[in-house]
Amino acid sequence: MFAEGTEAVHESAGWFLEHAWLIPVIPAVAFFLIIFFGKRMPRGGSEFGIASMLGALVLAAGTAFQWIDRVNSAGHGGEEGEHALGLVSGMGRAVAAASEEAPPHVDAVSKVWSWFSVGNLDVSIGSYIDGLAVTLLLLVAFISTLVQIYSTEYVRGDRRYTHFFASLTLFSAGMLTMVLAPNMVQFILGWEIMGLCSFMLIGHWWEELPNAKAALKAFFTVRVGDMGLLVGTGALLMLFGTLEIGEINNLAANFENGDKGMLMFAAIALFIACIGKSGQFPLHTWLPDAMAGPTPVSSLLHSSTMVVAGVFLVARLYPVFHVGLDINMLGQDVNLIAVIGGITVLIAAGLAFVQDDIKKVLAYSTVSQLGYMMMGLGVGAWTGAVFHIFTHAFFKCALFLCAGSIAHTGSHHSFDMKKDMGGLWRKMPVTFVVWIVSTAALMGIPFIGSGFFSKDEIIDSAKYNDYKIFWIVGIIGAGLTAAYMTRATYLTFFGKARGGAAHFVHGDAHHDDEAHDEGHAVAFAQEHADLDHEIDSHAHAAHDAHGHDDHHAPVHHGKPLPFAPTDSAWQITVPLIILGVLAVIAGYLNAPALGIHWFEHMTHSSIGAGSAMVVPPPPKFTWAAAAPGLLLIAVGIGLSFFLSKAVFGDAKSPFKGLTQRVAPLRWGHKFLVNKYYLDHLYENVIVRFVAYPLSKAAYWVNQHVLDGTVNQVGLAGKRTGQFVYKYIDQGLVDGVVNGSGTTARGAGGQLQPVQSGKVGMYGTLLFGAAAVAALILVLVNS
């Protein structure tokens, strides 16, 4: 039976693998259906979006299963592999004993059609399937489906409900197009579709000026990186003469005697694109501002689509970056990717400590985790970095959707942890449990959170590959992550209720005793029916106008309106529960601590896809190696909880206001609040002293050189036309025509007397003419 199955695999790659190109096509078609027919549909076109993502998910799952079967066949002696894989067939039983043998090499499955040709360059379009592509296809389709279901409740009543689902669907289609790209042209197409959609989604509520500014900031910051993508792609074409990703990787992996300077130039240009798209230092400033968009957008953008695109580009063109960005720093060969990633890990973690907006805490957390992924790729932990993309998607999506659930029904349309949250764990049990397990995954707590297995492999690989400085950065970042997430958890779910929830629970001063009994609190609310009416009108006025929860809690006479926090509707809680479960179990697909290397085997052939790229194998897991990071995580949790309780829970605590009383702490706090003054640098220095003069110079060139040239050409054309009209048309052409007419008319006037009607005169003229003719003949012939 197995032999027959293996033979079938080699006769045909499988229907799903060969038709994977349909995965982005389905949501792309759905986008047009939503645009043209969405407003006529009962649910505003969300039916098309959800159905398309479910269809893409089914195809992605089929593609994944056939790829797994393909890898298993190679590992069990198939033609495509030389080493035993040691895996039990099937994803559901994907637990394997630790294997010391190298994973098998499995060729990618490519299905392409010729798109267009330019000279000798033939550009194709289609699909390129390997382990990396399968991972992202499944991830994007799955997360997008849950986010679309969640959004049906979250943006219900939005005036641009249909537009939102159209943009959200096209956003996912762009990412899927990029993931499947066999060449850089299709890659850029998907990349730019995402950029356009992110602009539309971040600025979805553009009537509010901060939202419009955030969308523009994201658009223009990312465009800086996009220029790098175009320049880098052009450099690769000049260097290798091809845009096919597999061929580029193969040539870069075997790059020995070529132009190393050109390869470095191409790698730097492409990496600038990665920095912009994935929010790496120093182009990370747009990502927290992107929280102006609806929370489902933030969730999708931060978990599995746009910000992951930059990391995906490095993973996909790994030989280009591995060879091109290898530099010597302080006497040690390091990769520039690791340097930028390591810096980003720390600076983003620091900024998360001073945020009061729960979404901005998560945004800086995303920036920091993307730094881990970049650092992992830079230190040779390719599998760990890609696996961290996988695990991070589930717990980060869950955390953002938890934040949306809290704003939706827990904090009265506010994301301010200090003003409008606190004490929610009893009121929102589903949201609380999902938040806790997802936070554990983000912190990297063993066995509870999936992030432990992926992040630990990155940190261990840094030490194993002799990058001690990045190992230190990794464990410090783990401690900081634990600390700022503990602070956010305490402010949101523990301590005293604040904002409208506090007023509902505690009532007015004469209802304080009743407030501690939930039944009395409900009775108190019912006794104030007229206030309830005002609560409802205030609470939903903004939602009906814009359909979103990104407001501060509504107020009545200067005080937050009371309300009863509760878990959200099933459209919100069901995706949360699914993501919460995956935040725990996803890490077990590659758990070296338990001897499980399944994910590594499934994706190993994607390292330098199309090449024979060799990277160091992941280090063998030991608890001794993991201990320093786990110790810092424990210290971060304990210290942060103690300080959070002291500062936010005890009004008389000596720690309260410490950052204002102690000068060094005050300076440090101000430095963080101002985001290292990078925005000031960009706006007040680069924009004012660099971009503004450049724009003035460009304007002068436009007005005096370009427009001047155009105007002179136009003036010359005008004068030429006048000359042609006056002298050629009027003088020559019309002169000839008019002269001919005048001559004919004059001749006619002279001959008119001849037409007298007298026969004798006619005879005389005829005889005279004959005589003249005879005389001429005589003269000619004499």
Task: Tell whether omega for the bond before 429 is within 30 degrees of 0, i.e. cis.
Answer: no
Residue 261: what residue type? G
**pLDDT exceeding 70 applies to what percent of the chain?**
82
Per-residue tokens: 40: 């006529």
Residue (of 191, 177, 195) closest to 28 by Cα position: 177
What's the burial of 557, exposed, middle or buried (CB within 10 Å: 0-12/13-18/19+)?
Answer: exposed
Per-residue tokens: 419: 């003003």
Whether residue 662 has pLDDT greater than 80: no
Q: Could you give the CA distance from residue 2 to residue 89 in angstroms, rounded to a whole number?
A: 11
What pLDDT is stored for residue 481 in this prediction? 95
pLDDT tens digits, 421-464: 888 888 889 999 999 999 999 999 998 888 899 999 999 999 98
CA angle, 157 then 163 then 166, to 5°? 120
- Partners of 122 in the β-ladder: 117
**Run of H or E residues at 269:** helix 260-277
> Long-range contacts: 143-146, Cβ < 8 Å, 24+?
143/299, 143/300, 143/303, 143/304, 143/393, 143/394, 143/397, 144/27, 144/53, 144/56, 144/168, 144/172, 144/300, 144/304, 144/305, 145/50, 145/53, 145/54, 145/57, 146/397, 146/575, 146/578, 146/579
Q: Could you give the CA distance from residue 680 to residue 674 in angstroms, rounded to a whole number?
A: 8
Its pTM stands at 0.80
Most confident of 94-103, 337-346, 458-467: 337-346
Average pLDDT, integer, range 64-85 = 67
pLDDT tens digits, 740-773: 888 888 887 777 776 767 777 778 878 888 998 8
Q: Give the residue, 549 or 223, on which the prediction is more confident.
A: 223
DSSP string of 151-195, one letter each residue: HHHHTTT-TTHHHHHHHHHHHHHHHHHHHT-SBHHHHHHHHHHHH
pLDDT tens digits, 127-148: 999 999 999 999 999 999 999 9
Instruction: Indicate the SS3 state at residue 506.
Output: helix
CA 574 vs CA 141, 150, 398, 408, 437: distances in Å: 17, 8, 11, 15, 15
Mean pLDDT of the chain: 82
CA 572 vs CA 206, 303, 358: distances in Å: 25, 17, 18
Say how many CA atoms lie within 13 Å of 781 toward its Cβ. Answer: 6
- Partners of 124 in the β-ladder: 114
Q: Give the residue, 702 or 370, on which the prediction is more confident.
A: 370
